[in-house]
Structure 1
Amino acid sequence: MVRIYGDFDLTNFWYESDYASCEYVDGLPNQLAINAVQERLGYTLPAAYIELSCHQNGGQPRKTCIRSPSRTTWAEDHVAITGIYSIGSRKRCSLCGEFGSAFWVQEWGYPPIGIYFADCPSAGHDMICLDYRKCGPNGEPSVVHVDQEWDYRITFLAENFESFIRGLNSEAAFDN
């Protein structure tokens, strides 16, 4: 496997908790599982998402905030995430699980622009999505914040998944 993250240390990326283990973290995905999820979702997962999932498949990162270019319902200058979904369908917070990407589109009315892969502390009132509108289902998606409270307003966060992961900061970075 080509190492996408290179100098980025993934060994201390994840926060370990019983909640994360129960809701997000699944076994490491093999190619068969990856293919099945991609077929079910109708999109090719970014290589950086797959690489991260082959280190640990889903969970809660230690750094949970990323800068946004404009105000959201969460904050003036950033959004926060609770966890990143695993590749699979066994965990409630997995890409094809009970609260997976399709759930947010079908049950909550989120726009069908890609794959909803990270939830936020608002309990469903905003989500983080891989946005395939510009690149098509097999391209390299950008990462956006979708705000249900503001009529599903879409705010750009990162050019790609790797940039999103590298852009995560601790809450303390945004304390005023």
Structure 2
Amino acid sequence: MTDLFDGEDPFTGPPADDELIRQAEERLGYRLPSSYSDVLRQRNGGFLRRRRFPTSFPTSWADDHFEVRSLIGIGGAHGIDSGGGCGSRYLISEWGYPDIGIVLFDMPSGGHDAVMLDYRECGVDGEPAVVYVDEDRVPRRVARDFGEFLRLLVAAGS
């Protein structure tokens, strides 16, 4: 996953270690997937190199894909666990996303759609699926887990 990031941005948090991950899980009320935690230990969020996710359904973004911009890290003012305007709980409330888990990515649409970890089937300690939530706020499963989601991302224009 060393080729995952293209640079740092406001969503790049402080260096992540076991304690920061444990604190984030406590604040969020969910166990973070190990594949996400592993990425955080390498770099705690940031701009992505591969941003396009192919779909078999149309989105408000395109007929056959959506795009993500940044993976949101943990800790600090802009982490998914923050209480401010970038935290997952705030984004769920502000944008009316379904309360099914954790918002993980900064999207080019500025909030009109989201990619989330979906804990409905696995519970708060399980391995969540990844869903895409469009303007209709219906979660559509796009990957069985976070690791698969990252593997399926492609470069823009692909």
Q: TM-score, normalised by structure 2?
A: 0.94
Aligned to 2:144: 159
Partner amino acid, structure 1, of 2:13: D
Q: Distance in 1 between matches of 2:68 and 2:77?
A: 18
Give the CA deviation at 1:76.
Answer: 0.9
Is residue 42–residue 137 contact of structure 1 (8 Å, CA) maintained in 2? yes
Aligned to 2:2: 11
Aligned to 1:124: 111
Aligned to 1:50: 37
Is residue 117–residue 129 contact of structure 1 (8 Å, CA) maintained in 2? yes
How high is the sequence identity, in percent, across the aligned residues? Answer: 36
- Deviation string 1:119-176 (CA, Å, 9 cap, x unpaired) is 21100000100000111111000101111x22x0212111100000111101111xxx
- Deviation string 1:16-63 (CA, Å, 9 cap, x unpaired) is 25xx1xx11122212111111101111000000000011100001100
Q: Distance in 1 between matches of 2:56 and 2:26?
A: 33
Partner amino acid, structure 2, of 1:108: W
Is residue 100–residue 119 contact of structure 2 (8 Å, CA) maintained in 1? yes
Off by >2 Å, runs of 4+ in structure 1: none
Unaligned 5+ residue runs, structure 1? 1-9
Q: TM-score, normalised by structure 1?
A: 0.84
Q: Distance in 2 between matches of 1:11 and 1:42?
A: 28
Unaligned 5+ residue runs, structure 2? none
Partner amino acid, structure 2, of 1:163: E
Give the CA deviation at 1:107.
Answer: 1.8
Higher Cα Rg, which structure: 1
Partner amino acid, structure 2, of 1:15: D
Is residue 98–residue 139 contact of structure 2 (8 Å, CA) maintained in 1? no
Partner amino acid, structure 1, of 2:115: I
Is residue 71–residue 104 contact of structure 2 (8 Å, CA) maintained in 1? yes
Answer yes or no: is 1:171 the counterpart of 2:156.
yes
Answer yes or no: is 1:65 the counterpart of 2:49.
no
